[in-house]
């Protein structure tokens, strides 16, 4: 996504990266709230203040500093001393890494902001899928609508490309879903993944789909061994959420997809 008409903060890389890291951590802290509360079935905005997921104690501001508070408290609640777990710093670290990587590629610009938003959707949706094996419609369908709206800002041709990418991505996965149902007589690909491809297809376009899908497939294959080794694993029939890997593939395409494809085709002259 180029930046021909919108804002761009022309800062030295060290300042851009530093600002992006802080904003990424802050965003990541908000993502943890969204993920935890969605999984728990409670409102994201009520209560407004963050609270311990175990005892419900309201957190002080100094206990809610991304990453730092977790390290100072050694991963435990100040009140009940119950272990919080690595979920919170993991989400915050992923968000920070995403923000920094985007800053290195785009600088602090409009494309940086746009991809930060979609990265946030992918991070929240991916972690929810890890936990519940579902992808909320507000992320998949809402993300698709947002992607089309953003592409429309860049002209009719960009909007058409996004619409074609959305239809191609979702259509391909819908065909795979129906084929698996007919051949195997069971669910092999969730409808949430089909909806997610509406968003991803609109964002990366038709040209970005092969890289995104292949990256997702190989990363999911690598993770399948871990899932099969977990308690309750069913061998080759072990259930694996594919949404997080599709999100990873889309994010990697945004960062390096064009460069990787250009390098690959250069091998063939």
Distant-in-sequence, close-in-space partners of 28: CB < 8 Å, separation ≥ 6:
66, 91, 92, 93, 94, 95, 96, 123
Confidence of residue 77 (pLDDT cuts 50, 70, 90): confident
Q: Give the residue, 125 or 86, on which the prediction is more confident.
A: 125
State residue 75's pLDDT score. Answer: 83
Q: Which two tokens stand for residue 241?
A: 């959420």
In this prediction, residues 247-266 reach a mean pLDDT of 90
Start-end of H helices in the chain: 13-40, 68-72, 87-106, 110-132, 137-152, 156-184, 191-229, 243-252, 258-266
Q: What is the tens place of the pLDDT at every residue in 182-225? A: 887 777 788 999 999 999 999 999 999 999 999 999 999 988 87
State residue 236's pLDDT score. Answer: 61
pTM to 2 decimal places:
0.91
Residue ranges of the domains in the chain?
8-108, 111-269
pLDDT at 1 over 60: no
Start-end of H helices in 185-268: 191-229, 243-252, 258-266
State residue 232's pLDDT score. Answer: 67
Q: Which two tokens stand for residue 45?
A: 């905005």
Of the ranges 65-69, 80-84, 158-162, 232-236, which is most confident? 158-162
Question: Which range among 40-49, 70-79, 176-185, 222-231 shows the weakest confidence by mean pLDDT?
Answer: 222-231
Q: Which two tokens stand for residue 127?
A: 């972690």
For 83, list phi and psi in degrees, rounded to 5: -65, 130
| Nearest Cα to Cα of residue 118 among 93, 151, 161, 165 | 151
Place of tokens 């959420």: 241
Cis peptide before 68 (omega within 30 of 0): no
pLDDT at 168 over 70: yes
């Amino acid at each position: 996504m180029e930046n021909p008409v919108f804002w761009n903060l022309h800062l030295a890389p060290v300042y851009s990266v530093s600002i992006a890291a802080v904003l990424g951590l802050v965003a990541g802290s908000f993502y943890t709230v969204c993920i935890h509360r969605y999984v728990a079935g409670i409102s994201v905005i009520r209560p407004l203040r963050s609270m311990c997921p175990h005892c419900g104690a309201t957190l002080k501001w100094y206990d809610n500093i991304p990453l730092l508070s977790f390290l100072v408290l050694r991963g435990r609640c100040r009140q009940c001393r119950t272990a919080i777990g690595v979920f919170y710093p993991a989400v915050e670290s992923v968000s920070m890494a995403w923000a920094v990587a985007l800053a290195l590629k785009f600088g602090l610009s409009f494309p940086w902001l746009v991809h930060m938003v979609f990265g946030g959707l992918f991070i929240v949706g991916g972690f929810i899928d890890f936990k519940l094996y579902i992808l909320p419609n507000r992320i998949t369908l809402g993300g698709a609508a947002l992607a089309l709206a953003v592409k429309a800002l860049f002209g009719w041709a960009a909007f058409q490309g996004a619409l074609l990418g959305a239809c191609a991505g979702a259509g391909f996965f819908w065909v795979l879903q129906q084929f698996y149902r007919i051949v195997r007589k069971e669910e092999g690909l969730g409808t949430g993944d089909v909806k997610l491809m509406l968003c991803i297809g609109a964002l990366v376009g038709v040209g970005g789909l092969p890289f995104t899908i292949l990256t997702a497939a190989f990363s999911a294959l690598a993770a399948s061994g871990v899932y099969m080794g977990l308690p309750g694993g069913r061998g080759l029939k072990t259930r694996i959420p594919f949404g997080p890997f599709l999100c990873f593939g889309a994010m990697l395409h945004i960062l390096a997809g064009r460069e990787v494809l250009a390098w690959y085709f250069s091998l063939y002259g």
